Amino acid sequence: MRTKIVKTKTNIEWPGGFELYNRARKLLKTNLWNILTLFVGYFFVYLITAQLMNRFAVVNKVVKLTKNQNVTVAEIRNYPIFILLTVFIFLVLNLFYLMIYFYGFKNSESKSAEISDVFRSVKKYYLRFLGTAVIGIIFFFINILLLSTVLTLIASISTVGISVLIALIVLFAEVYLLLPRFILVYGLILQENLGIIDSFKQSWKMTKPHLTKLQMYLLAGITWSVLAFILAVTVIGIPVAIYILMFVLTSPALLYNYIKSQN
> Structure pTM?
0.82
Flag whether pLDDT at 71 surpasses 80: no
pLDDT band at 77 (very low <50, low <70, confident <90, very high): confident
Q: In Å, what is the CA distance from 166 to each residue of 92, 135, 146, 158, 215?
A: 36, 25, 13, 11, 20
* 79 membership: H or E segment, kind and range: helix 79-108
Question: Which tens digit of pLDDT belongs to each residue from 174-196?
Answer: 767 788 899 999 999 999 999 99
Distances 7 to 4, 10, 163, 212, 263 between C-alpha atoms, Å:
10, 10, 55, 29, 15
Split at pLDDT 50, 70, 90, the class of 254 is: very high
pLDDT of the residue at 226:
92
For the chain, give the mean pLDDT. 85
Q: What is the pLDDT of residues 212-253, one digit of tens each?
A: 899 899 999 999 999 999 998 888 888 999 999 999 999 999
Helices (H) and strands (E) in the chain, counts: 11, 2
Quick check: helix, strand or coil at residue 260? helix
The average pLDDT across 139-154 equals: 72
Q: Is 73 helix (H, G, I), strand (E, B) or coil?
A: strand
Residues 6+ apart with CB under 8 A from 11: 261, 262
Report how far residue 137's alpha carbon sits from residue 131's, in angstroms, rounded to the nearest whole number. 10
pLDDT of residue 1: 46
Give the list of residues 6+ apart from residue 104 with CB closer than 8 angstroms, or none: 24, 249, 250, 251, 252, 253, 254
- For residue 160, the tally of other CB atoms under 10 A from its CB is 10
Phi, psi of 76 (to 5 degrees): -75, 125
Q: Which of 35-49, 60-74, 116-130, 205-219 has the lowest mean pLDDT?
A: 60-74
Q: What is the mean pLDDT of residues 156-172?
A: 66
Q: Provide the 10 A C-beta neighbour count for residue 70.
A: 10
* Residue 7, pLDDT score: 44
58-64 and 70-76 strand pairing? antiparallel
pLDDT at 11: 60
Residue 92 CA to residue 100 CA, distance in Å, equals 12
pLDDT reported for residue 236: 87
